[in-house]
Structure 1
Amino acid sequence: GRVSLLEPDVRLRNCGIIINDLTESDSGSYQLRVNGLKNGRENGLTFPQKVNISVKGLTQKPTVGIPPLTEGQQTTLSCTAPGLCSGSDPEITWTWRGAGEKDSHITATITAVETSVTRRRSLTLTFNPSAEHHGTNVTCKVRFTNDVTTEETETLIVTYMKKPVISGNTAVKEGDVLRLTCSGDSFPPSRVTWTKLYFNENLQIKNVLHDVSGAATLLISNVTAECSGQYVCTAEQRITNVTTAAEVTVTCK
């Protein structure tokens, strides 16, 4: 049942065949034989030409399509089985694995893009990416008839930005050192700046140490009472920025 004529009407003299669900055991020598009747008796002709077929093990991998991923924006991943399959539908499975997590299997309906003879089998996965998905691995596994399998793994890169976090002591005494660090968790890393609010107007602060990408430390030595007030940390990424503020209080010794 795995072999069929490409053109069922033999009067068209096309004896091409298609063999579905190939295995390595299908390797060998093939000849064409035409059977018929002559004078009411079975007769036939075996053509002398031979063709040697060598079937190798599957080395191709599925094609995984991943568009740019942004947190909160629904997206669709695609996995296409290798080759132009004309036999049984393969089983396609998505496996999701985060850092230190167990595998999570996801299955869905296979979609097919058909031609007159063959079909490409693919499976899509629709989800809403988040910061937690960034850096996780997704694997597409394809299992054909006779337990022939192949898989491809890709790492997800998600663009995201979380609200920056301020750490440090906001209550200091005159003459002490004010040290506040603002860290912005984002990808790609955001540019972090400090400003001080003066009468509803933000003024850029110059004495800022950029410790690492995505973080900045505000450092003021020998603080005075004038240093009291609201300090705003801004994390900027492309056309998006997120702010958080801290109220600093300077008291007399």
Structure 2
Amino acid sequence: MIARVNICLPLYQPWRQLQHEVLNFDAEMVFWSCLFFLWLRVSSANAGEWSAKMPESVVGLSGSCVLIPCTFSYPANGKTYTEFTGIWYHEYSTVVYHTDTSKIIDSFKGRTSLIGDLHQNNCSLNISSLSNSDAGSFVFRIEIKDLNKYSYGEKVSISVKETPENPTVSVEEEVTSGKPVNATCAVSHSCPSDLPRVTWSHGGKQSSTSQPQNHGQWKLTYYSLTFTPSREDHNKLLICSAEFNGKNVTGHKTLKVKYPPYNVSVVTKPSVKENDSVELSCSSDSNPPANSYQWFSLNGTMLAKSPTYKLERVSRHTEAISCTAFNTEGKNCSGPQKMNVLYPPYNVSVVTKHSVKENDSVELSCSSDSNPPANSYQWFSLNGTMLAKSPTYKLERVSRHTEAISCTAFNTEGKNSSGPRKLNILYPPEIKSESSCMSKILTVCVCIVDSNPPSEVKWFGPDSSKSFSSTSIKQNESLTIFTLQGWLGFPETILCFANNSLGSSSLTLEAPQNVKKKSAVMEAFTQTVMFMSTRWVIRDYCHLTEPWKMKWSTLTHEEKGT
């Protein structure tokens, strides 16, 4: 039987080259039948001395490579052989690997290589750029110079997958924010020499790949990532992506990150009415959830230890409150929370310019402190007549006689009114007609000036070359009373000249003459009388209900009294 194998098999390749020229279809069928029969006979007859080890099947990824692990043995009988020729066949007939590359079928040329060393009994075969047409059975044949040639009966079946398996991501079940952690990504592949490109969804330090490990018919390569998780990573996917020649697959693991309370805040109603009660709660984002709380006033006094806190009879003056949340990982505080307390308008006032010139126009606005802000207004005259319904009110051509005005502000919680606001009207001096002089023993002249701002007054004699200063000045709102008094020799006429920043006015007064001589004692006495008389004149003038109807009879009554 061995002789028959040595005769038939060496003729295999020449026969393949000449079969199209010298054999018809029937002769070719006879040849293949003979060859297959002899193959089986050789395998069974020599199984004890000639043997090979290889997996029954391997799975390769389309577009990648596949490795067929293979070892073989032969009957050396104590001899050393140095020349080996290894041949791999696809479906028993097609040469896919040969030392002489010219004998390899075109579809496998450049895609196969013998990874193993035949001298070390290693016949492992690598096939690159795997395609669906490569699927099927593969067998190995060895030719040893000076010994024999043998086709092993063991075969390996290759199947081709279009889609790679998803990677497997491993990481701790719970990680802690701020502490480094290591994750691994196990990627299955069929080609250690053409590893996939692996990327992570999280930044970090990627370590070099580990050596491929056998995993059934696949190889496993582990990729490592060291990163520092944060609270933002909690419940997010850690994704490992593997790219196989344009084909992408992913694996993922949901991160569970422990972190201390964050975004701590005081939660309550959007608003509360003044004098009502309100309950506050302390909210936070943490893992695990917060398990204790503390409440603090604005000055740092601790108010309570509970998830909620109740405020009784709140007011617009209630201080801000903060809370602190605790869990196993730490604590954090909220900012001070000021209650949104609703209350009606108060401190209502009429706001306008500090002063306005007579005959000018002026706009008034109604100001108040309220929550929510005032949403309607009313304006009233001094006698209660409503003038307008608007936030502002315009007065045209104001005068010194313009009455005081008030406003009322309204919101959803109620209303309140300002006090009457009298405008500060500026106008030039006006000397009242009641200004005059009188003469008894002492000559007294009174100049009554109405002005805003108050005026200055100078007195001039007939020749205007000499001025006199007022003996006394009395102010009553916009009226100023200037008094000049003198003895014998007082001029017959005296000029009262008043001026302020807006203008001036003057009035000439006639002073009655009295030439009666007085003794020194009488003069001293009359000085006292006149001083008291002047005080009474001014007082009576200021208190008259009709001030411009002043009568000088007051002085006469004083004299009669003496």
Mark yes or no: TM-score above 0.5: yes
* Equivalent residue number for residue 278 of structure 2: 178
* Equivalent residue number for residue 63 of structure 1: 168
Residue 264 of structure 2 aligns with an amino acid whose one-letter code is: P
* Equivalent residue number for residue 232 of structure 2: 132
Measure how far apart 1:192 and its partner are. Answer: 5.0
Q: Secondary structure at the match of 1:132?
A: helix
The count of corresponding residues between Structure 1 and Structure 2 is: 226
> TM-score by structure 1 length?
0.64
Residue 184 of structure 1 aligns with an amino acid whose one-letter code is: S
* Equivalent residue number for residue 142 of structure 2: 34
* Equivalent residue number for residue 114 of structure 1: 211
8 Å CA contact 1:196, 1:229 repeated in 2 = no
Out of 144, 157, 165, the position equivalent to 2:256 is 157
Structure 2: 5+ residue runs without aligned partners? 1-110, 345-562
Give the whole-Å Cα distance in 2 for the aligned partners of 1:143 and 1:16.
30
Matches within 5 A, 1:209-248: 216-222=307-313, 231-244=321-334, 246=336
8 Å CA contact 1:85, 1:120 repeated in 2 = no
Give the whole-Å Cα distance in 2 for the aligned partners of 1:28 and 1:95.
39
Q: Secondary structure at the match of 1:87?
A: coil
8 Å CA contact 2:239, 2:250 repeated in 1 = yes
Measure how far apart 1:217 and its partner are. Answer: 4.1
C-alpha spacing 1:180/1:46, structure 2 compared with 1 (3 Å): same
CA offset digits 1:109-153 (Å, max 9, x no partner): 6623237999753333343322333333332111235x4442113
Residue 35 of structure 1 aligns with an amino acid whose one-letter code is: E
Measure how far apart 1:33 and its partner are. Answer: 0.7
CA offset digits 1:18-63 (Å, max 9, x no partner): 5366846342111111124459xxx733234433333445553212
Matches within 5 A, 1:38-57: 44-57=149-162
8 Å CA contact 1:165, 1:182 repeated in 2 = yes
8 Å CA contact 1:168, 1:181 repeated in 2 = yes
Give the whole-Å Cα distance in 1 for the aligned partners of 2:204 and 2:323.
44
Measure how far apart 1:179 and its partner are. Answer: 3.5
CA offset digits 1:176-226 (Å, max 9, x no partner): 2234332112223223534356x97645356xxxxxxxxx443334459xx
C-alpha spacing 1:21/1:92, structure 2 compared with 1 (3 Å): farther
C-alpha spacing 1:173/1:31, structure 2 compared with 1 (3 Å): closer
Structure ranking higher in strand proportion: 1
C-alpha spacing 1:115/1:217, structure 2 compared with 1 (3 Å): closer
TM-align CA RMSD: 4.4
Give the whole-Å Cα distance in 2 for the aligned partners of 1:122 and 1:33.
35
Q: Identity over the aligned pairs, expressed in percent?
A: 24
Structure with more relative contact order (C-alpha pairs < 8 Å, separation 6 or more)? 1
8 Å CA contact 2:206, 2:225 repeated in 1 = no
Q: Secondary structure at the match of 2:210?
A: strand
Give the whole-Å Cα distance in 1 for the aligned partners of 2:300 and 2:266.
21
Larger Rg: 2
C-alpha spacing 1:84/1:240, structure 2 compared with 1 (3 Å): farther
Give the whole-Å Cα distance in 1 for the aligned partners of 2:154 and 2:274.
100
Structure ranking higher in helix proportion: 2
> TM-score by structure 2 length?
0.33
8 Å CA contact 2:212, 2:221 repeated in 1 = no
C-alpha spacing 1:23/1:33, structure 2 compared with 1 (3 Å): same
C-alpha spacing 1:151/1:4, structure 2 compared with 1 (3 Å): farther
Give the whole-Å Cα distance in 1 for the aligned partners of 2:168 and 2:336.
49
Give the whole-Å Cα distance in 2 for the aligned partners of 1:75 and 1:121.
20
Residue 139 of structure 2 aligns with an amino acid whose one-letter code is: Q
C-alpha spacing 1:232/1:74, structure 2 compared with 1 (3 Å): same
Structure 1: 5+ residue runs without aligned partners? 97-105, 207-215
CA offset digits 1:161-188 (Å, max 9, x no partner): 315122458x988732234332112223
Give the whole-Å Cα distance in 1 for the aligned partners of 2:279 and 2:204.
51
